[in-house]
């Protein structure tokens, strides 16, 4: 009798849990591919020993084994083991539509990357925007993936907040509203016609929870927010603030001026833009600078170029040099490399996009570049020990340290050699440059380090 009384409330708890969506639901029955469909490429998918095994086929594009059901808010967990020489990923909130690239699968992807790059757990936007969160943002997360072994993958999608874990280590977190719902899919990456086929990835214990979800505790890692000019509660807890509020000129003024320029700049629909004039440096509205000064910081900003445009984001600006034209400071170059002549000037391409202007070229792969008219994401990290990094769309493209012998040597052969202690102020203002070309900015955020 005591045993029965104990079992009755326990059974009730399980039933309520299942109805509320808190119980785990298997997505794979361990026997066959019921509930799944294959899209795009013709890689091999088979079921063996309770696993789904994907195998590469030469000359085939990316292949996807997708759920027939769509999911919006969920927590997904699975285990995977992959050939150390191949690449893969888990699609989620993804779509395949006839009117989009002839049905090509597109949407969010959690990366599987056993290479030395170690970006497993990062978030990629397949067939759309590219990388949203590379593991350069979270170096500690690079150590989570275990090569030649089983790995536990976890994806948490609740509202516009998307988070990932590899082996219980937090790897990525973004805030984005591009696709609120879609299928889940297991990717076998394409290989060329001349590449050796037969590389395998295995998945097992695929399960999902939906409805009445409670987010996991804050992980404290970098958060990439893609909602323009907005901060999440978690970003605020991380110490991030808006450097531009998306509506007014509050916190900004003209360089060498007491107020904001009366011409040359425009605020419209959450976008701050330099207006097109004649391409001259700081000759129309002029540069704008923050009213506050910053030492060690993490600066994020979105920018969008027009054809042939030139601008820049400068830091450690003191306005003390008395120079003509643009105010002096270390500069993250913002440029249309293909069309603006500045890209071919300087030395060793050190005036191209995301470079430390006239000092260090940005070492960016072609994947880091977005088309003219698309939004780019820039970031500058300045550490307390004077190490500085430039990022472009998630790729770390410049790394240096102020005050070193190498730094002074670079300055000595640059256009900045005439200014004593160039770039060495303990703190300074952030500057957006007016170079007479239309360039748009938004989502400007900063965190003091």
For residues 23 and 17, give the distance between their C-alpha atoms in angstroms, rounded to a whole number: 6
Question: Domain for residue 214, yes or no?
Answer: no
Q: Which pTM was predicted?
A: 0.91
Which long-range CB contacts under 8 A does 241-245 form with residues at least 24 apart? Answer: 241/445, 241/446, 241/447, 242/444, 242/445, 243/290, 243/299, 243/430, 243/444, 243/445, 243/446, 244/272, 244/441, 244/442, 244/444
In this structure, the answer to whether residues 245 and 201 fall within a common structural domain is no
Q: What is the pLDDT of residue 281?
A: 67
Tokens for 16? 């309520």
Between CA 88 and CA 94, with CA 89 as vertex, the angle to 5 degrees is 140
In this structure, the answer to whether residues 203 and 251 fall within a common structural domain is no
Q: What is the pLDDT of residue 1?
A: 36
Sign of CA dihedral 306, 311, 313, 319: negative
Q: What is the pLDDT of residue 325?
A: 79
Q: What is the DSSP letter of 233?
A: H
**Which residue's structure tokens are 């004649």?**
278
Question: Domain for residue 192, yes or no?
Answer: yes
In this structure, the answer to whether residues 283 and 160 fall within a common structural domain is no
In this structure, the answer to whether residues 334 and 418 fall within a common structural domain is yes
Q: What is the pLDDT of residue 6?
A: 35
Question: Domain for residue 269, yes or no?
Answer: yes
In this structure, the answer to whether residues 202 and 294 fall within a common structural domain is no
445: exposed, middle or buried (Cβ count in 10 Å: 0-12, 13-18, 19+) = buried
Tokens for 237? 């807890």
Tokens for 350? 């050190």
Residues lower than pLDDT 70 in the chain: 1-21, 279-283
In this structure, the answer to whether residues 51 and 169 fall within a common structural domain is yes
For residues 117 and 340, give the distance between their C-alpha atoms in angstroms, rounded to a whole number: 32
Residue closest to 189 by CA, chosen among 50, 98, 82: 82
């Amino acid at each position: 009798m005591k045993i029965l009384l104990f079992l009755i409330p326990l059974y009730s708890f399980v039933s309520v849990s299942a109805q509320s969506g808190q119980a785990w639901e298997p997505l794979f029955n361990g026997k066959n591919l019921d509930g799944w469909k294959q899209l795009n490429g013709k890689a091999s998918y088979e079921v063996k020993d309770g696993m789904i095994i994907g195998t590469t086929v030469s000359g085939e594009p990316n292949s996807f084994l997708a759920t027939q059901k769509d999911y919006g808010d969920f927590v997904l967990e699975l285990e995977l083991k992959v050939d150390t020489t191949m690449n893969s990923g888990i699609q989620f909130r993804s779509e395949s539509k006839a009117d989009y690239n002839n049905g090509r699968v597109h949407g969010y992807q959690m990366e599987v990357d056993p290479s030395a790059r170690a970006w497993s757990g990062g978030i990629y936007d397949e067939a759309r925007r590219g990388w949203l969160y590379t593991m350069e943002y979270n170096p500690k997360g690079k150590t989570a993936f275990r090569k030649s072994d089983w790995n536990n993958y976890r994806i948490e999608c609740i509202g516009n907040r998307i988070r990932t874990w590899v082996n219980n280590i937090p790897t990525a977190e973004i805030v984005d509203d591009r696709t609120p719902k879609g299928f889940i899919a297991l990717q076998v990456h394409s290989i060329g016609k001349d590449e050796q086929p037969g590389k395998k990835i295995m998945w097992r214990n695929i399960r999902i929870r939906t409805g009445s979800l409670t987010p996991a505790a804050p992980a404290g890692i970098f958060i990439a927010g893609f909602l323009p000019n907005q901060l999440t509660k978690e970003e605020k807890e991380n110490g991030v603030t808006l450097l531009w509020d998306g509506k007014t000129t509050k916190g900004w003024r003209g360089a060498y001026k007491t107020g904001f320029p009366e011409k040359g700049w425009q605020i419209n629909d959450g976008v701050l833009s330099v207006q097109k004039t004649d391409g001259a440096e700081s000759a129309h509205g002029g540069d704008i600078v923050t009213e506050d000064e910053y030492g060690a910081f993490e600066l994020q900003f979105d920018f969008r170029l027009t054809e042939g445009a030139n601008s820049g984001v400068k830091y450690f600006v003191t306005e003390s040099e008395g120079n003509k034209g643009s105010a002096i400071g270390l500069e993250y170059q913002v440029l249309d490399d293909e069309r603006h002549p500045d890209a071919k000037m300087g030395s060793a391409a050190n005036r191209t996009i995301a470079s430390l202007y006239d000092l260090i070229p940005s070492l960016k792969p072609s994947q880091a570049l977005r088309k003219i008219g698309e939004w780019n994401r820039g970031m500058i990290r300045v550490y307390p020990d004077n190490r500085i990094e430039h990022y472009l769309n998630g790729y770390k493209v410049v790394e240096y340290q102020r005050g070193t012998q190498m730094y002074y040597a670079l300055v000595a052969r640059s256009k900045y050699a005439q200014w004593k202690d160039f770039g060495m102020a303990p703190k300074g203002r952030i500057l957006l440059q007016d170079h007479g070309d239309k360039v748009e900015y938004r989502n400007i955020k900063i965190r003091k380090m």
